[in-house]
Structure 1
Amino acid sequence: MSQFDRESPASLATLPTEIADSIYYSLPSASLCTLARVSRDIYAAVQGPLYRRPVIDSYRKLQAFVKTLNYVASWDKKTGDARSKKIVHLTLIIDPAKEEITAGRPLIAVILARMIRVIARYNEDVTISLIIAHSACNAQPVCSFESEEFPRVTSLILDLGGEPVTQPSSGSSSLSSVIPARRNIHQRNYNYSTTGIRCIPNAKFWTRFFNGSNFPDLQRLELHHRSRAGSSYGDSGREGDRILFTELDTLGLARIERLVVNSVPEFNDSVLMAGLQHAPLLTDLQIENCAVTYDALDKLLLHALPVLHRLVLRVSPQSRFAQHAREALGYRGNRDYKEEIPHLCPHFRRHGKNLKHFEFAAPYICRDLFLDEYEKEKLRESGHPGTLAGDKNGMIVQGELDTVLVTGVLTRSRQTRDTDSAGQKLLEGSSMEEDRRILERERSMRTRKATIEKEGWTRRLHVLDGMCIDGATFEELTALAKVEEPGIGWTLGSLPERRAFRVIGDLIETVRYSHEFERDRQRRARQVERDVNDELVGQ
């Protein structure tokens, strides 16, 4: 080794290719752009990592990006295939009001679609996340989606309703920081409509997302609607409007894996049922403050819970559907026994065991979410009353909850039931095949327990008004969560009592209600930003 070699300082340019690439692929785009200006060698070395997962936050940058792809593109003369920079995933964030202010004219769908098609032509395997921020249903480019095709867009997030947004503080998320303060679009007489009138359930709004033609590769769809009155539309009064979809209107639902509808007035029972019937791959569902009846939610939970991995269901505190369901349960003895009363809580007990995460916020929740009829009978035999003396808000007004009795009876009854079931199988069949099935069941239970602990399964319950049935109490829910499956973390909150508990195994921890639940509205208002940072950019 020469004297010059011994004295040469170490640098990125002198590192082995494998080590240098590991460093480059771990750096953010801003750092890679800075490195690209250091030297020609490093510029060439960072091209792959720099274009691998770009995040573009304006149409001007999108134009420059596409121009670069065209400039360095190459064509195969025999096949006609075009190749350019290798892109694995592109996150595209567009604020229509910002673009209109900058360019003096709205960004129309045809131009946006043309740019996306160029990128898809150069990268056949690219996936694209398209986020339209601070827009409106009847504004460009959203109102013209049905006229264009957006290939390779696998994630679509729309922030609709057009609420004015102020300049975010330094503590806001990274997506907020790239979206400047925008003018109040109410001044331009937008009426938030896809049909020329106010936002109501209509087929035109949904077919562009569901038909598989406008977004042929769509897998994740999120719609966050805003209104002048706030995030909750409650019961719009138009939930009975029936929307008819043809077979061609729902072909794209076969690829949908995640669906989020947050305060969307165009969403009702018909849309829910269409999505439920034609989306076999749907494993992540969030419905928040939408005008969906309890009858429809009853059918949803019955059929969808066994296949979902994640469910977030938040019913508006003003929901008259919840009130009617509670009144029906309270007067069950005076009603026709053949009449079906929509009661949501038992579905979670019967069909929701495999949910990795679920959140349920509703005016009324009760212990049927934890207990079946056999367990209720065992509690009554032990001397526990069917319901405690609780008021309409679920607060105890007479007596105390015997948590030792509840947890002890349930633990013994569940152990006895499992033992009796296994013993019965042994009596019915003593063959080696039956023994093998029992051993397989035990192995499956151990595997399930390890999976729950590894993946950190969670449950969140938020009682907004009280219990489904008179006399039930919030304390009972906390005690029942304590004896649920080991490893699952529970967080329970009661708005009337302004109390919250976290339950993990045998531990019950009192937590601040304001910290766990009052900030839900602020967190949901930033749902788009959080989804982009945590899920899309990191893909």
Structure 2
Amino acid sequence: MSQFDREPPASLATLPTEIALCALARVSRDIYAAVQGPLYRRPIINSYRKLQAFIKTLNYVASWDKKTGDAKSKKIVHLALMIDLAKEESTAGRPLIAVILARMIRVIARYNEHVTISLIIAHSACDAQPVHSFESEEFPRVTTLILDLGGESTTQSSSPSGARSINSVVPVRRSIHQRNYSFSTSGNRCVPNAKFWTRFFSGTNFPDLQRLELHHRSRTGPSYGESGVEGHRILFTELDTLGLARIERLVVNSVPEFNDSVLMAGLQHAPLLTDLHIENCSVTYDALDKLLLHALPVLHRLVLRVSPQSRFARYVREALNVRGCQPHHEEIPHLCSHFRRRGKNLKHYDFAAPFICRDLFLDEYEKAKLHESRHPGTLAGDDSGMVVQGEMDTTLVVGVLKRIRQTRDTDSLGQKLLEGTSMEEDKKILERERSIRTGRATIEKEGWTRRLHALDGMCIPGDTFEELTGLANVEEHGIGWTLGSLPERRAFRVIGELVEPIRYSHEFEKDRPRRARQVERDLNDELVGQ
């Protein structure tokens, strides 16, 4: 090995910042005082033992104002607290209870009045510590709460030593290194109920909560569409939902306690909600129809992933294809058309469902113009309302749509000028044109995205996946589209007029329904980042 192949000797500059600061802190008292700020501004604690040591340090250096009684310690701006309950229980031999966790968080909040805390708990369960005791405690300054509720709790008899009572609830969690495990949940409590949600929505237990994520995954898949689950009506009082006024982000992933009534309560009492994720939950298409109607104009990001086993999706598909037999007063909750009509202002959306179709791209005016162009197949059905099967000629449709969208606003403006307009109307027209230009510039600058995934096929027989890529090609300039089809295992990325095939497995593999024998990856890797 030559001298040029040797690695350079370690120096202070090559060490992690925290190690360097700790080394400097030992030089003198002045330097020690100077480096305390950077060391404690944004700490990350990933175990209960480290949390205990952290609290001990805060108590040791705390100072008190005798007049006001206020306490001060290390200056903390944001604390990330990540607790893996499976690891903690295997180490300590007992579960971490809510009262201890809440007490330590209150100590941190007392020393730092404006601190924000992200609390991430992995390998927990709905009816096990600490989650089932959240309603008895207060967790101030926790602005982000992420819970992995994939464990199962059982009631065990007392141990030979008598350390546990006969009726104690002991969470049974897998080891993080275990390969074969059961990851189901108790069927007694994992059903829609108000008590589960009140601890998060009331503002009493988490008074500063802004971002809430609940992941309730299991090997057997979500409980989507189980008999009677979506029919559980949950009634909230006004006090039960006061905390929703501060919620900005809500993620519910395969949560059995989530259904139509919980969704409607969230919509009514969460005016600041701009980021919503609903994945594989037991929510009917009627409720999702109302969600898209009321929430799309205010949301910035929406992730909606409907389970491949959703019987609601299959019912809607059947209804769409026998429209002539439907009562005139019955409106089919077709989600694709809702995205088109009211999803224009969404910066990002991710829509995965058993069936999607061209209505994501076309409104009624454009359908009528396409019908006049005599393209193969029809979008509205024949005179009796029955759908006429047949593939759309994508080239023809793209050409017609480009002409329609280029001349639609121009024709409207020209007609108004011919009819004569007042100065006030002229101002409105100019303002509208300015708004359109500003919107296009914003889209391109912020990089808006759309992600579509057909898990089973198209809403209408005769529709093809290629049609979607052609229609995405003529959407607003600057929006990036990613489209995937599970049956065909194909995927495309469309940006402007550029259409490129991409590897389906890289972009959409995580959306596929898991097989029963497939071992689920460690959720701690995803939630905690280890």
TM-score, normalised with respect to structure 2: 0.85
Whether the 8 Å contact between 1:217 and 1:255 is mirrored in structure 2 is: yes
Which structure 1 segments of 5+ residues have no match? 1-10, 13-22, 165-178, 389-397, 535-539
Residue 289 (structure 2) aligns with: 298
Residue 88 (structure 1) aligns with: 77
Deviation, 1:470, is: 2.0
Deviation, 1:424, is: 3.8
Mapped to 2, the partners of 1:192 and 1:38 lie a distance apart of: 54
Mapped to 2, the partners of 1:495 and 1:409 lie a distance apart of: 29
Residue 246 (structure 1) aligns with: 237
Mapped to 2, the partners of 1:28 and 1:262 lie a distance apart of: 37
Match of 2:482 among 491, 497, 502: 491
Q: Percent identity?
A: 79
Q: Partner letter of residue 301 of structure 1?
A: L
Whether the 8 Å contact between 2:202 and 2:242 is mirrored in structure 1 is: yes
Whether the 8 Å contact between 2:42 and 2:76 is mirrored in structure 1 is: yes
Residue 192 (structure 1) aligns with: 185
Deviation, 1:134, is: 1.1
Deviation, 1:192, is: 3.5
1:60 aligns with 2:63: no
Deviations 1:371-423 (A, max 9, x none): 011101111111213449xxxxxxxxx98753332111111112221112223
Residue 235 (structure 1) aligns with: 225
More helix by share: 1
Mapped to 2, the partners of 1:66 and 1:46 lie a distance apart of: 19
The 3 A distance-change label for structure 1 pair 502 and 290 is: same
1:264 aligns with 2:255: yes
TM-score, normalised with respect to structure 1: 0.84
Deviation, 1:429, is: 5.5
The 3 A distance-change label for structure 1 pair 288 and 526 is: farther
Mapped to 2, the partners of 1:292 and 1:243 lie a distance apart of: 13
Residue 459 (structure 1) aligns with: 450
Deviation, 1:443, is: 2.1
The 3 A distance-change label for structure 1 pair 499 and 76 is: same
Whether the 8 Å contact between 1:116 and 1:150 is mirrored in structure 2 is: yes
Residue 367 (structure 2) aligns with: 376
Mapped to 2, the partners of 1:256 and 1:85 lie a distance apart of: 28
Deviations 1:113-171 (A, max 9, x none): 0000011011111100000111111111111000000000000000011289xxxxxxx
Whether the 8 Å contact between 1:364 and 1:467 is mirrored in structure 2 is: yes
Whether the 8 Å contact between 1:29 and 1:54 is mirrored in structure 2 is: no
Q: 2:117 is paired with a residue of what secondary structure?
A: strand
Mapped to 1, the partners of 2:527 and 2:130 lie a distance apart of: 21
Q: How does 1:65-464 map to 2 (within 5 A)?
A: 65-162=54-151, 181=176, 192-193=185-186, 197-230=188-221, 232-237=222-227, 238-387=229-378, 402-427=393-418, 430-464=421-455
Mapped to 2, the partners of 1:38 and 1:424 lie a distance apart of: 79
Q: Partner letter of residue 358 of structure 1?
A: Y
Whether the 8 Å contact between 1:90 and 1:128 is mirrored in structure 2 is: yes
Whether the 8 Å contact between 1:401 and 1:475 is mirrored in structure 2 is: no
Mapped to 2, the partners of 1:362 and 1:381 lie a distance apart of: 31
The 3 A distance-change label for structure 1 pair 338 and 28 is: farther
Q: 1:349 is paired with a residue of what secondary structure?
A: helix
Deviations 1:16-64 (A, max 9, x none): xxxxxxx99x965455445545665543332101110110011111111
Q: Partner letter of residue 366 of structure 2?
A: E
Q: 2:143 is paired with a residue of what secondary structure?
A: strand
The 3 A distance-change label for structure 1 pair 527 and 347 is: farther
Which structure 2 segments of 5+ residues have no match? 1-10, 154-173, 380-388, 515-519
Whether the 8 Å contact between 2:140 and 2:207 is mirrored in structure 1 is: yes
Residue 6 (structure 1) aligns with: none
Deviation, 1:74, is: 1.1
The 3 A distance-change label for structure 1 pair 367 and 527 is: farther
**Cα RMSD between the aligned structures?**
2.9
